[in-house]
Amino acid sequence: MLSSISSARNIGLSRILPLGSTTLAARPNRPTRCGSKYSLSERGIVVRSLNTKPAYEGHIPLSWFENAFLAVGSAFMSLADPRRGDMIAALGETTAGPSLPRLRDRMLESPEGRRVLKDRPRVNSSTVDMDKLAQYPEGSFGRAYVTWLERCGVTPDTREPVHYIDDPELAYVMQRYRECHDFYHCICNLPVNVESELAVKYFEFANLGLPMAAISALFGPLRLTPQKRARLFSEFVPWALKCGSSAQSLITVYWEKRWEQDVNDLKKELGIWDPPEARWSKPLSEAKALAQKRQQSAAPTSASAP
């Protein structure tokens, strides 16, 4: 689906969409509205240019119909195969609606958030020095993040780029949310599994108000066993809704400036408290040992640096 839309965008032709031919044909010389992607042909039908200029690298402009079609299609694909990160990303973008302007406004109201919008930092293994984070003392947010990555066996390089948000600044807000998702897991002390992911989605919906989080929270529990579903709703959901709604809006946090901060102090500042104990696939001691190994291997490099 994504490839077909992208391919169609590269064709320098026009798509002709018949609309209300009787009314339109009666007014063949109706002027085109300024800034519109549509023009009126002499036959009384609307012609839409497919050669719309992208607003940023990777941008794929969509009509309202294409946006709705992609939203429905990506929703079905995401439910059928939750491993399809591209479909989940497309669903988040096509259903974002007015939630992104609201998040942008929250960032603009916060000095820290305004700095994020100005600097537009990115979170991946090229922009974040994991070896340097491993050098931070035990208990710091940077060290906690590296330990969380080791414990969950994930990297920050798996986030899809934004394609379907037209406004470049709002596109960055969506990208920022997407790339900071693992920070939410880390600060809330939750692993990467279905029930914990759903707990984070409930938290995100209460904290950020993204429709995608609500969709995941609504349909995601269908994949759980009855026992896990019961615990999700009896223990994790109450925590997520209460904590998420009362905590500072996490989209405003400049996480990269908080590496050295004590993680417990950071949680208190943000108004976050730990959820019920989650099910981890790897013991914390093993993850700490891996983080310690990373620290030791990076130490000679740091020592030899001028």
The residue to which tokens 């940023």 are assigned: 56
Q: How far apart are CA 47 and CA 44, in angstroms?
A: 10
Q: How far apart are CA 214 and CA 254, in angstroms?
A: 25
Query: Which helix (H) or strand (E) segment is 16 a member of?
Result: strand 14-17
- 133 and 171 Cβ atoms separated by less than 8 Å: no
Q: How far apart are CA 27 and CA 282, in angstroms?
A: 68
Q: How far apart are CA 100 and CA 191, in angstroms?
A: 26
Task: Name all contacts of 262-266 with Cβ < 8 Å and 24+ positions apart.
Answer: 262/139, 262/140, 262/141, 263/139, 263/140, 263/141, 263/144, 263/187, 264/139, 266/141, 266/187
Q: In what order do the strands lie in the sheet with 14-17?
A: 14-17, 46-49, 38-40
Residue among 2, 208, 187 at smallest CA distance from 97: 208
185 assigned binding-site residue? yes
Note the helical H segments in 180-210: 181-187, 194-208
Residue among 38, 25, 39, 32 at smallest CA distance from 65: 38
Tell me the β-bridge partners of 47.
16, 39
Tell me the β-bridge partners of 48.
15, 38
182 assigned binding-site residue? yes
3-class secondary structure, 14: strand
- Binding site for Zn(2+): residue ranges? 181-182, 185, 197
Residues that constitute the known binding site: 181-182, 185, 197
